[in-house]
Amino acid sequence: MDFTVFFTTFGIIFLAELGDKTQFTVMALATRYPWKRIFIGIAAAFALLNLAAVVVGKLLFAILPIFWIKLVSGGLFLAFGMSTIRNSRFDEAGEEAEEGRLQARGPMMTAFVMILLAELGDKTQLVTASLAAQHDAPLAVFSGSTLALWLVSLLGIFAGRQLTRFIPLPWIHRGAGALFLVFGIIILYQAFAG
């Protein structure tokens, strides 16, 4: 493995993803679901996305127009935002019932789909595809990018879980729902403006 390419990729992707909408998505998911389950979904989504970026590279975007990717992603963020705000109405007595309903939906699959659609065609996937095209080191690019995204996600998960110690969960859900709505609107704007 080419460690220069690995560390370069890791650094670029780690810095690009810090504070990104995906990290906020991960933080919000961490307040609703068990962290281990969502991390499995997140890790699988990032591994799949990076594999596609490295193997397919820029061809992916020739086959699947970015407009449709952004349209589906924006719609998903809007739907998840409305659902999160609607579910924030539960008081503390209703939180156990809410947790049961959320777990029935499948935290791993929810996290997988949210991250897959949010990141498909995102800057970090484009950078990963570009680095794979520039360097003859696909394993180093894949490993560096994937590990960077996993680490940023873990940071988001634990930051999200710590918020619940200081801010009531319904308020966190309302804030997360509002963020999802904002991201959905921005993504849809980008789809139609671009």
Average pLDDT, the chain: 78
Report for 71-75, 113-117, 162-166, 167-171: range of highest mean pLDDT:
113-117
| Structure confidence at residue 58 (pLDDT) | 53
User: Hunting for tokens 């991250």 — which residue is that?
Assistant: 115
The residues, any chain, with a CB within 8 Å of residue 146's CB and separated by 6 or more, are: 46, 47, 50
Question: pTM of the full predicted structure?
Answer: 0.67
Domain containing 62: what range? Answer: 3-193
Helix (H) or strand (E) holding 88: none
The residues, any chain, with a CB within 8 Å of residue 120's CB and separated by 6 or more, are: 49, 69, 73
Q: Looking at the 3D structure of the chain, how many domains does it have?
A: 1
Given pLDDT bands bounded at 50, 70 and 90, which one contains residue 118? confident
Q: How many whole angstroms separate alpha carbon 160 and alpha carbon 154?
A: 10
| Structure confidence at residue 14 (pLDDT) | 85
